Amino acid sequence: MQRWLGWVLPLILFGALAARAAEFEGVRFPTSYAAGGEALTLSGAGLMRWKYVIKAYVAALYLGSGAASADVFEDVPKRLEIEYFYGFDAADFVKVTRDRIRLNVPAAEFELLRPRIDALNRLYRNVSPGDRYALTYLPGIGTELSLNGSLLGTVAGSDLAKALFAIWLGSVPVDDSLKQALLGR
């Protein structure tokens, strides 16, 4: 009996751990995430291809308990986690953030957000292949930017969170296929 448990128990434990993670393009994401006392659940994940050919990164979207993908722009907890297949300079993130927000929000709103966009942009660091950025929005706290699990800073405002998440999920997303995958469609 002990011999049987010796090889079955590890299989059961491995199965339980595997059930708690999802894999996309060889990158594993947990099916749930805890942030600020909030439980977030994986909504979807997908691959971002640059110029339709180059695999740039894999991203996963998490939403707060009870939130549906249709609620992504509401004042609900949410997290976007991205693992990169290539290295990028911080300046690349600054440019893409400004340009993509500008495409997804009216000009007057962009100008109101500009100081906080600039504050977020000062947090970016260069990334190497395998690095993982995460944007986590918590109502009443703001949007946290983390790199490889280390908090770089927090910027306030649900309006900023909405503009940031619009980069991937807005009317002019960085990649429509990725948008659909993140929303679980």
pLDDT at position 52 is: 62
Strand, coil or helix: what is 177? helix
Question: What would the two tokens of residue 98 be?
Answer: 């400004």
| pTM for this predicted structure | 0.86
Placement of tokens 């000062």 in the chain = 122
Q: How far is CA 108 from the centre of its chain?
A: 26
- Which domains does the chain show, CATH number per domain? 2-182 (3.50.70.10)
- 138-170: pLDDT as tens digits: 999 999 999 999 999 999 999 999 999 999 999
Contacts of residue 164, defined as CB under 8 A and 6 or more positions apart, other chains included, come to: 97, 101, 120, 135, 137, 143
Q: What does the pLDDT read at residue 65?
A: 86
Hey, what are 159's tokens? 């309006």
Mutual angle of helices 107-121 and 158-169, in 10-degree steps: 90
What percent of the chain stands above pLDDT 90? 75
Alpha helices in 53-175 (DSSP H): 90-104, 107-121, 158-169
What would the mean pLDDT of 2-6 be, rounded to a whole number? 42
